[in-house]
Amino acid sequence: MSKLVIFDGNAIIHRAYHALPSSLTTRIGEPVNAVYGLTSMLLRVIQDLKPTHIAFAWDRPEPTFRHELLKSYQAQRPEADSELVSQFEKAYAVVRAMHVPLLSLAGYEADDMIGTITKQTKVDEVIVVTGDRDILQLVDDDRNIKLYMPVKGLSDAKLFGEKETVERMGVTPSQIVDFKGLVGDPSDNYKGIPGIGPKTAATLIEKYGSFDEIYKHINELPESTAKKLREHKDEGDLSYKLAHIITNAPIEFDIEEAKKWQVDSPELLQLFEEYGFRTLTKRVKDIGKQITSDKQTSLF
């Protein structure tokens, strides 16, 4: 059975950076805590999820189409620490050394790369590794699309299908965009309908099914709620558009390339020597031996 695991590179490297101590450095004092954490997470996923295919999606520095819709999109976010920024190239090098495709596209976010690949690639199962709850909108039990999301630093993670998404968000995956249209997303700096909170939004969506249907039945709502919706419909419409993950981005992705990963490649071991990752060196060698053993066993 084919199983594609797609990593949201930016989400995972940021989480790793904040989860591990800055004292993790190379022999010459360069910070590598984020690289170490991302790599450790990658190895854990290989062991736990046993993918046949792996890919990484990354954001790019250029503005995206969402910035064209809203100039202040993500504008409130602080500039990334220089100690984190300096580790991105090392993280790319680790992923390339494992022969895993790196995907990015100017004008789009990593979410859109993931959405496009998830919806258009023909495999038996897709699992997205991310800490970004926006991507829960891609979860689809019928198509066997799930999320593997760290829930506490990097030490614990949970697999999200449709049931787990409803438990976490209060709405189904297909309704998350409707939900964000109402409540907005402070982390991305768009506000939805002022005065409509998560509980009210979930109740409205449960009753009417979608953002559009709520407006079609606006005369049935309490006047205080209807007034907010009428006065701020433009903000709601914009939030709805901003929350929607693109599934038809013009990206080229060869699924066969995602099958060529090698956990214990010579290039990777050389990088680990350079970065001082002695513990990870042992892990990749052990995992590589186990994968080889499993493949040999499956032949009989």
For residue 299, the model assigns a pLDDT of 57
Domains 3-169+246-298 and 173-243 share a fold: no
- This prediction has a pTM of 0.93
* Angstrom distance (rounded) from CA 24 to CA 17: 10
* Angstrom distance (rounded) from CA 298 to CA 51: 15
Q: Are 282 and 272 in contact (CB under 8 A)?
A: no
Q: Are 156 and 188 in contact (CB under 8 A)?
A: no
CATH number of the structural domain 173-243: 1.10.150.20
Worst-scoring range by mean pLDDT, 66-80, 228-242, 246-260, 273-287?
66-80
Paired with 185 in beta bridges are 190
* Angstrom distance (rounded) from CA 131 to CA 231: 33
Using 50, 70 and 90 to split pLDDT, how confident is the model at 75? confident
Share of the chain above pLDDT 70, in %: 98
Q: Is 125 in a helix, a strand, or coil?
A: strand
| 33-49 helix and 278-298 helix, angle to the nearest 10 degrees | 20
Q: State the DSSP code for 244.
A: P
pLDDT in tens, 106-156: 999 999 999 999 988 999 999 999 999 999 999 999 999 999 998 877 778
pLDDT at 237 over 90: yes
Find the mean pLDDT for residues 23-46: 96
* Angstrom distance (rounded) from CA 13 to CA 35: 7
For residue 298, the model assigns a pLDDT of 62
* Angstrom distance (rounded) from CA 157 to CA 220: 42
* Angstrom distance (rounded) from CA 35 to CA 12: 10
pLDDT averaged over every residue in the chain = 94
For residue 77, the model assigns a pLDDT of 79
Q: Any idea where the domains of the chain sit in the sequence?
A: 3-169+246-298, 173-243
Class of the CATH domain delimited by 3-169+246-298: alpha beta
pLDDT at 236 over 60: yes
pLDDT at 297 over 90: no
For residue 293, the model assigns a pLDDT of 81
